[in-house]
Amino acid sequence: MVLKGVKPKVKEKRLKMFVYGEAGIGKTYAALQFPDAYIIDCEKGTEFYAKTIAKMNSVVLQTFNPDEIKTELHELLETNHKYKTLIIDPITQVYNATQEKWTRIFEKNTKGKGSDIQDFGMRYWGKVKGDFKAIQRLILALDMNVIVTAHQKDVYGSGFSKIGVTFDSMKNDDYFFDLVFRINKKGGKRVAITVKERAEVGEAKFPEEFEWSYGNFLKFYGKDIIEKEAQPLKMADTQTIGRVKNMVNMLKLDEGIVEKWFDKAQAGVWEEFTADKINKCEEYLEAKLELISDKKGKK
């Protein structure tokens, strides 16, 4: 058996951050300081900042519909465009809408069966999480800066005493991001408190606390990375997906192999495979079919 481990290479990663703060702190306005942004406004918070948005050469789509958001993310991922930063403000509403979507589906399917519509069990939560994680995977795949905001909520300990604050969204939302900031105000200024930064020991880019400004993000993270043009990513087409699915069924391929492909592609469905990754799967399957055909021919 040949070991497959290789030395890791340093990768230049886009700025992707998760930001939360209390109501009225200015999360929306803070995010809008990034120019050339594609803003998905989930609670009409941008209506107060039309002039700022126009000045920054940004555009707005008002929706919290998870299916519509996935469609927009696919377009941003696969087509040429001028936008450098994606803003979703706030993701809290998208998660709530995803729950509502699957509640409607489950209520329709259990109507008249005497089920408790408020408790659908693990299958329901699996659908909610799977749908929401599909959005998260698309966000991470984008060749754009990403700012995802969330509402803030209090954390309580024993005796209902407040012990801190956290974001109000799906559990472990922060796990998907290398950078997590909490916005606060000090002395009339909006500041970012660094909650999490994935980095080599001693090589963190951001201080523990700093004034929130676009200039500071350019300074700490790098102007070349933040202002880089987005490059489209070629995704798997329907014809290739169909051929791969057929070959997987024909070969009765071991589920473990397919699971490894999905893990490596960081995908939940075939449609989330890039063209190069699904082409490798197709080549493997074709070679396997050819080998079987050769063996039959020799008999």
Going residue by residue through the chain, which has 299 residues, state the pLDDT in tens, using 9 for 90 and above. Answer: 677 777 877 777 899 999 998 888 888 989 999 999 999 999 888 888 999 999 999 999 999 999 999 999 999 999 999 999 999 998 889 999 998 998 888 888 766 555 554 566 788 888 888 888 889 889 988 999 999 998 888 787 777 777 777 787 767 777 788 899 999 988 888 999 999 998 888 888 999 999 999 999 999 999 999 999 999 989 898 999 999 999 988 888 888 888 889 888 888 888 889 899 999 999 999 888 888 776 666 65
Q: Do 210 and 290 share a domain, yes or no?
A: no
Containing domain of residue 279, as a range? Answer: 238-298
Are 102 and 61 part of one and the same domain?
yes
Q: Note the pTM of the prediction, 2 decimals.
A: 0.83
Please indicate, yes or no, whether residues 216 and 255 belong to a single structural domain of this protein: no
- Rounded CA-CA distance 144/232 in Å is 10
- Residue 229 sits at the vertex; the CA angle it makes with 228 and 235, to the nearest 5 degrees, is 120
CATH of the domain at 84: 3.40.50
In the numeric block, the tokens 């399957």 are attached to 285
pLDDT confidence of residue 45: 86
| Tally of domains in the chain | 2
Contact 5, 26 (CB under 8 A): no
H/E stretch holding 92 reads: helix 91-110
Q: Within a domain: residue 82? A: yes
pLDDT of residue 156: 79
pLDDT of residue 298: 61
Q: How far apart are CA 128 and CA 120, in angstroms?
A: 11
The pLDDT score that the predictor gives to residue 32 is 94
| Domain-embedded: residue 192 | yes
